[in-house]
Copies of this chain bind each other. A is one copy, B any other.
Amino acid sequence: MAKSWANPGIDLHVEPAGRGLRRGLTDALREAVRTGRLAPGTRLPPSRALAADLGIARNTVAGAYADLVAEGWLTARQGSGTRVADRPVTAPPARAPRPRPFARPAYDLRPGTPDLASFPRAEWLKAARRALAAAPNDALGYGDPRGRPELRTALAEYLARARGVRADPARVLVCAGFAHALTLLAAVLRARGVHTVAVESYGLHVHRDLLTAAGLRTVPLPFDDRGTDPAPPDGAGAVLLTPAHQFPMGAPLRPDRRAAVVDWARRTGGLVLEDDYDGEFRYDRRPVGALQGLDPDRVVHLGTASKSLAPGLRLAWAVVPPWLAEEVTAAKGAVDTCGVLDQLTLAEFLASGAYDRHVRAARLRYRRRRDALVAAVAARAPEVRVTGIAAGLHAVLRLPSGTERPVVRAAAWHGLALHGLSLFRHPRAETEPLDAVVVGYGTPPDHAWAGALDALCRALP
């Protein structure tokens, strides 16, 4: 029963969030009973199963069931579970169902967030226990602004092994997310007299906005059918790139262009900011090593636990060239701003191999989803070409000309949050606009994946 509950036909279309969760769930269930979507006598899944399925606390579900039993919509009998009442009573006026308790869409395929339901909660707690048992008391004080030495050491080892980064723990800076690291680097660049940073024609506007807020102008790099041409224009002091897996287009930076951008940095004294946001997730090709390995003196390597574990950890890292390390550290402040317990836990997670195991398992899960996406689109929307699928947690679906906006609108109509490619285009990009949608297949929890994929296919031309 719990299983069929999770399939799209009977899905509650509830994405619980924030406060009022119990009330929202109660309203959604009441509405399903009232409208007959849940027929009299239908047995509801055990509260534990529905809680797991929705990724919420069991008490919340049990509370919602209890409210509805009290209101007469459901019945609960020892041994027969919770069922929809035979003859729904009229809702008491005090708790009349409100229209659309959740404004959020039922499904979410926007890129940027991994599947949060697969965060390894039990493994993380075990690592936290080991880390806290091993931590000296000193670790709990005001810390080195660069971050805990345990984590910097573990990251240096991991990044060297997994990403080919040439890292010394002394030059690893732990940050509260990629945006924090980029903000620090932007402030340092500005203070050094840099005015212009080259960025990719396609990228995250929130990153461009951070650079702008720091007083830097962003100029778009050319983008052609071989990807980004990363040679920054005259006057640019730095370039922000996603070399391992262009975001969102999905291709790795070509070897000749990797060499060219490092040449540019050496020749001009410029700085390359390497956003390695999902370097762990690759499927059909050999890993693309970090650009930083080509020249640790001219490339800042930036990574994050937001895609491999969860954004809520607020842990990212920058590997900074020796000549820049002191300034970037000073920009972070006099003491560390990241909580030490999660830092120690991530260090233990990395050192114990739990991180590698988690990434391997996640890679398999995401690959299955990617394969399902490719197969579904091929079967149901043959005019659409799925690109950028060799790595990462998202794909770009190329659409017939002029159809991007209608597809995004149709998706919304099917309860699906979806981003068009134009959202990621630099406002001054000169490359020909493409019609496409960016599908973050990592985002939905397992119970919503089939429904999300179905809604997507319905929206495609």
Contacts and interface: CB of A to CB of B under 8 A. Distances in A.
Contacts of A63: none
A138 B206 contact: no
A274 interface: no
A124 B176 CA distance: 22
Contacts of A59: 134
Given A125-B129, A179-B333, A339-B342, A17 B138 contact: yes
9 contacts: A15-B138, A17-B138, A116-B137, A128-B128, A142-B312, A176-B339, A177-B335, A177-B337, A311-B335
Given A336-B314, A340-B313, A16 B138 contact: yes
B113 A121 contact: no
A54 B342 CA distance: 23
A149 B335 contact: no
A18 B149 contact: yes
A55 B117 CA distance: 36
Interface in A7-50: 15-19, 21
A334 B179 contact: yes
A288 B445 CA distance: 48
B339 A339 contact: yes
Interface residues of A, number: 59
Interface in A162-180: 176-177, 179-180
A436 interface: no
A378 interface: no
Interface of A: 15-19, 21, 54-57, 59, 112-113, 116-117, 119, 121, 124-125, 128-129, 132-144, 149, 153, 176-177, 179-180, 206, 306, 310-315, 333-342, 445
Contact of A338 (B143, B336, B339): B339
Contact of A141 (B116, B142, B333): B116
Contacts of A310: 140-141
A313 B333 contact: no
B140 A206 contact: no
Contact of A314 (B129, B306, B338): B338
